[in-house]
Amino acid sequence: MNTAAVAMTHFGHHPDIIPRLVVPQTRNGRLDLLAERALGSYGPVVCEDVMGELKAALLRGRGGAGFPAHIKWHSVAGSAGPGPRVVVANGEEGEPASAKDRWLLTHRPHAVLDGLLLAAAVTGADRAIVYLSHPETVGTIEESIAELRAADLVPAGLRLDVHVVAPTYVAGEESAVCRSLNGGPALPLAKPPRPFESGVSGLPTLVSNVETLAHAAWIARHGAEEYGRHGTVGSPGTTLVTLSGACERPGVYEVPYGLSVQELFTGPGGGYTSPPPSGFLMGGWFGGLLSAERAEVACCYDAVRAVGSGLGCGAITALGAEDTPLAVAADIAAWYAEESAQQCGVCVKGTAAIRDAMGNLRDGIATSATAANLIRWGTTLPRRGACAFLDGAATLARSLATEFPAAVSAGALAPSAESAEPTSSHSHRYSSKETTP
């Protein structure tokens, strides 16, 4: 599995929707201030109570956790009484399988800034920051901020900055965001406090994904009812997905919630490039593996959770003919062990143990206890690190065992052959064989 960030090869929207973010005008590149204002950005809001409208719209965060946006906005607005607050647009996008935040920041930076200024106004913030790392997004956001200043659209008293960070997987985690903005390394911190309690400069801080902010602005300008015109009852609206892997048109698409994985790939994704995939990687690399038999699962929060997976940041990869589940899981597990911020013992040992078990499975030398270990790690490791990074590795482990039991059995030695020491091709100081974190 290629661990380099996916390219924004194609983009568009599902034919059944009127797009809100991937509008046809973006074919020519960045929408400038004039074009955005024609779409309603920075215009009047249709509601007196923006947070109430976000609540009515059931807007969920698009950074990965799907947390209700109005609760976060409310926590920041209501925390610690009067005083300064900070809002941050998180455009770091460390997830290698995702390109939607980069797409948004290069094509519709004003949609993000519109949401950021709105969040600042609603929460009472006097500082707003765009946090990003991909070089192509820095120019478009700075150009757009310059347009805003020239048009006198940055409210008096609001400090608006851009903060560029070196890209890593954990640099976009919310406490890492605040730590970096406070002058430290972009590494997660133990919680509490969470950023809404104490974030940038110790102030209540809203860290929100750039796509969430763009949807929030759209909802404020068009209303929750209109937002719910597409999508499902439990997951209203549209969302950006990044489709990659074995499909004809990999790229970023705006789709209504509720389409199946199969419909995403055979519709916007243009169909599969090879024989039907053996499975899918869900939510970037965070939602684990899903077998091909689950291709009919609807991409909405409840249905995907019901099959033990997650939508995460909306990135889905179809496994190609050469991507056997064991090989893909081994590659990603190795990547997890490499990308761990190495701050929490349980994460260091857990990701190493998962990497070694996956490597042994791929090499056909795992022990017969491996399947049980993968499931146990999948249930005992989540929520034990300072951040949710380890949860992703644990989900990968569990999902390989539950979605591909035959492949896992095939990767293990017969019990009679187990007296021979398993020798993972990945040596590690904690584990030359399968260990217990």
Ligand X SMILES: Cc1cc2nc3c(=O)[nH]c(=O)nc-3n(C[C@H](O)[C@H](O)[C@H](O)COP(=O)(O)O)c2cc1C
Binding site for ligand X (CB under 6 A): 61-65, 67, 72, 90, 92-94, 169-170, 172-174, 207-209, 212, 387-389
Helices (H), 210-296: 210-222, 224-227, 261-266
**Interstrand relation of 279-281 and 159-164 (parallel, antiparallel or unpaired):** unpaired
Q: What Rg value do the Cα atoms of the chain yield, rounded?
A: 22
CB of 291 to ligand X, least distance (A): 25
CB of 69 to ligand X, least distance (A): 6
Q: Which does 212 bind (CB under 5 to 8 A by kind): ligand X, ligand SF4, none?
A: ligand X
- The tokens describing 4, both together, are 């380099």
Q: Which of residues 141-170 bind ligand SF4 (CB under 6 A)?
A: 170
**Interstrand relation of 205-209 and 279-281 (parallel, antiparallel or unpaired):** unpaired
Please, what's the largest Cα pairwise distance for the chain?
76
CB of 178 to ligand X, least distance (A): 10
Measured distance CA(36)–CA(43) in Å, rounded: 10
Comparison of 214 and 297: residue with beta carbon closer to ligand X: 214
For residue 347, state whether it binds ligand SF4 (rule: CB under 6 A).
yes
- Degrees, nearest 5: CA angle 54-58-64: 100
* Binding span for ligand SF4 by CB under 6 A among 214-222, 276-284, 387-395, 401-409: 387-395
CB of 87 to ligand SF4, least distance (A): 24
Q: Which does 256 bind (CB under 5 to 8 A by kind): ligand X, ligand SF4, none?
A: none
Q: Which residue has the tokens 């009472």?
A: 124
Q: Kindly state the number of chain residues that form the binding site for ligand SF4, as judged by CB under 6 A.
A: 13
Comparison of 218 and 389: residue with beta carbon closer to ligand SF4: 389
For residue 341, state whether it binds ligand SF4 (rule: CB under 6 A).
yes
> Do residues 408 and 331 lie in contact, with contact meaning Cβ atoms separated by under 8 Å?
no
* Binding span for ligand SF4 by CB under 6 A among 34-42, 113-121, 210-218, 337-345: 337-345
* Binding span for ligand SF4 by CB under 6 A among 210-218, 299-307, 380-388, 396-404: 380-388
Measured distance CA(333)–CA(281) in Å, rounded: 13
Comparison of 133 and 278: residue with beta carbon closer to ligand X: 133
Among 26, 98, 340, 399, contact with ligand SF4 (rule: CB under 6 A) = 340
Residue 74 identity: H
- Degrees, nearest 5: CA angle 316-318-324: 125
CB of 235 to ligand X, least distance (A): 14
> Do residues 54 and 122 lie in contact, with contact meaning Cβ atoms separated by under 8 Å?
no
For residue 195, state whether it binds ligand SF4 (rule: CB under 6 A).
no
Q: Which of 43, 47, 28 is nearest to 108 (CA)?
A: 28
Where do the DSSP E strands lie in 321-428? Answer: none
Binding site for ligand SF4 (CB under 6 A): 170, 188, 340-344, 347, 385-387, 389-390
